[in-house]
């Protein structure tokens, strides 16, 4: 029983972790993209449509990544080239993504999905309890673990990662040192969009292998909060993602067990937990200020 619950927690947490990791890199470069929800839902519809049309869930994954990355380019063009307000543009991107995905996915409503198969490691998957949990999962779960390791190394061990953090902390000084701030931020925004698209693909190919309008259901906003919860550290995203995943699955099991609490309250638990976590974090302002990229959300124009 506990093993089955843990498996569902992993499935629920994976899209949160992947989307949050992409946004973490974007924010480390000093860009605040509130359009994660919109990019995620666009990734979900692109992944489902591609899998339906080709019969391959792996092509669906590629389409989801491409859909999220291309959608993020719109945000990049508006905020980095035209220097629009990042907060307003991100909100507009979410609204656009929700509406556009509904239009694109209209033809796929009610169609049976193509589920991404599990990757089973022989012998290892037969280990009691941990076997199925760690060695019999889908590709996107393993990609999420690889992303955590790779991003942690990239940001804190590589020269390019140092440049990204320098831009996020002081884009003016980084520009004076000869770093191309706009190009680097474009790449960071596209990476964030690709991760959001991959998270969306997980929703429509693994979590609920079908297309349902607005199926992201606020997960993009939870991913944004998760970046703050993790203090912009990749390894902390993993812990936070599984915490929020456990809350999401916990309310589903509470409803199944018939606990005498209104279902509306239980459905609101993941979002209530997000608010509580943010309130707790806000009390430690010193730690938050130390870890927050100093140029986050601030526009940059090279010739000023």
Residue 85 within a domain: yes
Q: Which residue has the higher pLDDT, 238 or 5?
A: 238
pLDDT value, residue 248: 78
DSSP per-residue string spanning 264-293: HHHHHHHHHHHHHHHHHHHT-HHHHHHHS-
How confident is the model over 268-296, as a mean pLDDT? 75
The Cβ-side half-sphere exposure at 199, using a 13 Å CA radius, reads 37
Q: Could you give the angle at the alpha carbon of 110 between the alpha carbons of 109 and 115, nearest 5°?
A: 100
Please say if the pLDDT value at position 133 is more than 90. Answer: no
pLDDT tens, residue by residue, 145-188: 999 999 999 999 999 999 999 999 999 999 999 999 999 999 99
Residue 178 sits in a domain of what CATH number? Answer: 1.10.3470.10
Distance CA 141, CA 146 (A): 9
pLDDT tens, residue by residue, 61-77: 999 999 999 999 999 99
Residue 291: which pLDDT band, with cuts at 50, 70 and 90?
A: confident
Identify the domain containing residue 150 by its residue range: 2-115+135-291
The structural domain count of the chain equals 1
How confident is the model over 286-299, as a mean pLDDT? 81
Please say if the pLDDT value at position 205 is more than 80. Answer: yes
CA diameter of the chain: 63
Residue 97 within a domain: yes
pLDDT tens, residue by residue, 26-53: 999 999 999 999 999 999 999 999 999 9
Distance CA 302, CA 171 (A): 10
Residue 287: which pLDDT band, with cuts at 50, 70 and 90?
A: low
Residue 209 within a domain: yes
As given in the structure block, the two tokens for residue 52 are: 């339906």
Distance CA 103, CA 81 (A): 28
Residue 123 within a domain: no
Distance CA 5, CA 3 (A): 5
Query: What is the average pLDDT score of the chain?
Result: 89
Q: Which residues fall within 8 angstroms of residue 137, CB to CB, at 6 or more apart?
A: 10, 118, 119
Quote the percentage of the chain above a pLDDT of 90.
Answer: 66
Residue 121 within a domain: no
As given in the structure block, the two tokens for residue 11 are: 């499935």
Chain-centroid distance, C-alpha 182: 23
Residue 125 within a domain: no
Residue 26's DSSP bridge partners are none
Structure letter (DSSP) for residue 110: T
pLDDT value, residue 4: 77
C-alpha distances out from residue 161 to 24, 164, 175, 236, Å: 12, 5, 15, 18
Q: Is the dihedral of CA 163, 165, 171, 174 positive or negative?
A: negative
pLDDT tens, residue by residue, 244-280: 888 878 776 666 666 666 766 767 777 777 777 777 7
Residue 127 within a domain: no
How confident is the model over 217-239, as a mean pLDDT? 91
Strands, E, within 93-219: which ranges? 118-120, 136-138
How confident is the model over 190-205, as a mean pLDDT? 97
Quote the percentage of the chain above a pLDDT of 70.
Answer: 90
Rg of the chain, C-alpha, whole Å: 19
Residue 120 within a domain: no
Residue 56: which pLDDT band, with cuts at 50, 70 and 90?
A: very high
């Amino acid at each position: 029983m506990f093993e089955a619950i843990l498996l569902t927690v992993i499935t629920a947490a994976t899209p949160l972790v992947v989307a949050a990791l992409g946004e973490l890199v974007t924010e480390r470069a000093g860009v605040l993209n509130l359009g994660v929800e919109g990019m995620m839902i666009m990734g979900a519809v692109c992944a489902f449509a591609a899998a339906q049309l080709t019969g391959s869930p792996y092509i669906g994954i590629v389409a989801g990544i491409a859909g999220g990355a291309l959608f993020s380019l719109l945000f990049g063009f508006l905020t980095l080239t035209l220097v629009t307000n990042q907060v307003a543009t991100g909100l507009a991107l979410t609204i656009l993504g929700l509406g556009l995905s509904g239009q694109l996915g209209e033809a796929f409503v009610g169609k049976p999905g193509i589920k991404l198969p599990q990757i089973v490691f022989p012998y290892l998957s037969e280990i009691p309890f941990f076997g199925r949990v760690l060695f019999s999962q889908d590709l996107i779960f393993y990609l999420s673990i690889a992303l955590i390791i790779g991003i942690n190394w990239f940001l804190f061990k590589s020269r390019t990662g140092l440049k990204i953090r320098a831009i996020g902390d002081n884009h003016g000084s980084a520009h004076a040192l000869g770093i191309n701030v706009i190009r680097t931020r474009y790449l960071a925004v596209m990476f964030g969009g690709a991760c959001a698209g991959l998270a969306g693909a997980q929703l429509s190919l693994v979590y609920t292998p079908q297309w349902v309008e607005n199926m992201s259901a606020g997960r993009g906003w939870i991913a944004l909060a998760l970046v703050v919860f993790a203090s912009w550290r990749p390894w902390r995203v993993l812990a936070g993602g599984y915490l929020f995943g456990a809350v999401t699955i916990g309310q589903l099991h509470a409803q199944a067990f018939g606990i005498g609490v209104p279902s509306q309250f239980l459905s609101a638990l993941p979002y209530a937990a997000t608010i509580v976590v943010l309130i707790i974090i806000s009390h430690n302002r010193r730690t938050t200020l130390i870890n927050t990229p100093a140029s986050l959300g601030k526009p940059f124009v090279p010739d000023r």
